[in-house]
Structure 1
Amino acid sequence: MTGAAAKNPPRGRPRSETAKRAILASAMELLLDQGLSSMSMDDVARRAGVGKATIYRWWPSKERLALDALAAEWASSASAQGRDTGTLRGDLLALLRPWVRQLKRRPYARVVAGLVAAAQTDAEFAELYRQHFIGPRRSASRDLLLRARERGQIAADTDLEVALDLLYGPVYHRLLHGHAPLTQRFAEQVIDAVITTISSDRPNA
Structure 2
Amino acid sequence: MPPQPRRGRPRDAQLEQRIVAAVLTLLGEKGYDGISIEEVARRSGASKASLYRRWSSKRDMVLAALRAGPAQDGAGEAVDTGSLREDLLELCRRLDRTMRRTDARTAMLLLEAGLEDPELCAAIETAVGPTGARLPRAVLEAAETRGELPPGADPFVFEEAVGSALLLRRTNGLAADASYLEALVDAIVLPGLRASAALGRPLPAGIFSGTPTPAPLPTAPPHQHPSEETP
Q: Same fold (TM over 0.5)?
A: yes
C-alpha displacement at 1:47, in angstroms?
4.6
Structure 1 runs (4+) deviating above 6 angstroms are 202-205
Listed as ranges, the gaps of 5+ residues in structure 1 are none
Residue in 1 that maps onto 2:227: none
Which structure: larger Rg? 2
Rounded Cα–Cα distance in structure 2 between residues aligned with 1:24 and 1:118? 20
With the length of structure 2 as denominator, give the TM-score of the two structures: 0.61
Distance in 2 (CA, whole Å) between partners of 1:204 and 1:50 is 54
Residue from 42, 50, 66 that aligns with 1:70 = 66
Matches within 5 A, 1:79-118: 81-84=78-81, 86-107=82-103, 109-118=104-113
1:154 corresponds in structure 2 to 149
Structure 2 spans left out of the alignment, 5+ residues: 201-231
Partner residue, 1:166: 161
Equivalent residue for 1:27? 22
Match of 2:7 in 1: 10
Two-structure CA RMSD over aligned residues (Å): 3.8
What is the identity, as a one-letter code, of the residue corresponding to 2:174? P
Q: Check whether the contact 2:134–2:158 (CA below 8 A) recurs between aligned residues.
A: no
The one-letter code matched in structure 2 to 1:191 is V
Structure 1 residue 101, shift from structure 2 partner: 3.0
Q: Counterpart of 1:95 in structure 2: which amino acid?
A: L
Change (3 A) 1:172 1:190: same
1:181 aligns with 2:177: no
Q: Is the 8 A contact 1:27 1:69 kept in 2?
A: no
1:196 corresponds, among 180, 184, 191, to 191
C-alpha separation in 2, matches of 1:89 and 1:55: 42
How many residues are matched? 189
Write the distance in 2 (CA, Å) between the matches of 1:129 and 1:140: 17
Distance apart, 1:156 and its partner CA: 2.3
Partner of 2:212: none
Percent identity, please: 25
Match of 1:129 among 105, 112, 120: 120
